[in-house]
């Protein structure tokens, strides 16, 4: 049904990141181990949802099943990334937690973002942004707070169409999700806001002064927190293996899975913020009056189309 072709990007700035400047990430500690084999996952037939029920990406207004690659939990991509469970979905992608079976590091989890097959301007801009960032060499303290790319490849289907896949380091949840944990009217403590702004301003300073990139879509849902309690990753996989998520079996090829959330970190050990989603990013210093943000977030000069 599919074949793989590697879509190569150079490693993105990892070699020059100054460790003494980067906030401590317990999730990045490593221990040597041998490359692993694929693990077995339950089919989960006992959790099958009714065929008439719309699930996850099926609820999107313009959902086209042929646009989304039919990922299966337990499937192995690019010969080394095994899908562990579903993290979420969007209009142009689904996102999964996976294991890198070839790494010599523990934890060996990654995030797989598998895009829809029809190219979109957002996906194309994201590719250009990663290619541009990967060409830089920097020790800027804001660099660790811009999400990087670990790997990328394409899944080619039998009809010749393909799906781009981005491989990232796992992150926990968005600032928007964190705010919702406190209720719809919750606000962040002043200390947390000050700390988050410090890191985000460093990220923007790196993008603006060294990368010459404008993000164009800064909002709480595009700011994620690093994984400080690495146990949330192993617990996620254990939960999927012991209690398979609900799923809708469409046919012999396609199953729509329900997303699963990470548990909360122990001792409220939230990580530091990382600016994500470069799908609206613009490279270079030219003026642009394109529709790039919701009205509420637009700068006045963009609304008025003035310099």
d(CA 232, CA 263): 6
| Cross-strand bridge partners of residue 162 | 156
Of 124, 151, 159, 217, which residue is the catalytic one? 217
Q: Is the dihedral of CA 206, 209, 212, 214 positive or negative?
A: positive
CB 305, CB 299: distance < 8 Å: no
Measured at the CA of 9, the angle between CA 7 and CA 11, to 5 degrees, comes to: 140
Give yes or no: 217 in active site. yes
d(CA 43, CA 278): 35
CB 233, CB 179: distance < 8 Å: no
d(CA 139, CA 1): 44
Strands (DSSP E) contained in 66-170 are: 76-77, 81-90, 93-100, 109-115, 151-157, 162-168
d(CA 166, CA 190): 35
Burial of 252 (0-12, 13-18, 19+ CB in 10 A): exposed
Q: What residues are labeled active site?
A: 217
């Amino acid at each position: 049904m599919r074949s793989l072709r590697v879509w190569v990007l150079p490693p993105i700035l990892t070699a020059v990141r100054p460790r003494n400047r980067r906030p401590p990430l317990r999730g990045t500690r490593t221990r040597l181990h041998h490359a692993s084999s694929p693990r077995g996952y339950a089919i989960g037939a006992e959790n099958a949802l009714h065929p008439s029920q719309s699930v996850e990406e099926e609820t999107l207004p313009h959902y086209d099943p042929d646009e989304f690659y039919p990922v299966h939990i337990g499937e192995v991509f690019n010969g080394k990334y095994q899908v562990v469970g579903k993290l979420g979905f969007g209009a142009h992608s689904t996102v999964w937690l996976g294991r890198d079976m070839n790494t010599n590091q523990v934890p060996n989890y990654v995030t797989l973002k598998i895009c829809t097959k029809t190219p979109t301007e957002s996906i194309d801009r994201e590719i250009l942004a990663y290619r541009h960032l990967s060409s830089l060499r920097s020790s800027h303290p804001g660099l660790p707070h811009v999400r990087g790319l670990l790997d990328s490849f394409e899944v080619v289907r039998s009809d010749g169409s393909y799906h781009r896949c981005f491989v990232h380091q796992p992150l926990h949840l968005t600032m928007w999700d964190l705010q919702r944990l406190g209720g719809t009217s919750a606000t962040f403590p002043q200390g947390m806001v000050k700390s988050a702004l410090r890191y985000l301003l460093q990220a923007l300073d790196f993008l603006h002064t060294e990368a010459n990139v404008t993000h164009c879509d800064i909002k709480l849902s595009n700011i994620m927190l690093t994984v400080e309690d690495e146990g949330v990753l192993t617990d996620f996989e254990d939960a999927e293996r012991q209690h398979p998520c609900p799923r809708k079996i469409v046919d012999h090829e396609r199953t729509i899975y329900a997303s699963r959330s990470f548990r909360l970190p122990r001792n409220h050990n939230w990580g530091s913020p990382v600016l994500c989603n470069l799908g609206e990013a613009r490279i270079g210093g030219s003026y642009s009056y394109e529709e790039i943000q919701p009205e509420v977030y637009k700068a006045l000069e963009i609304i008025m189309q003035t310099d």
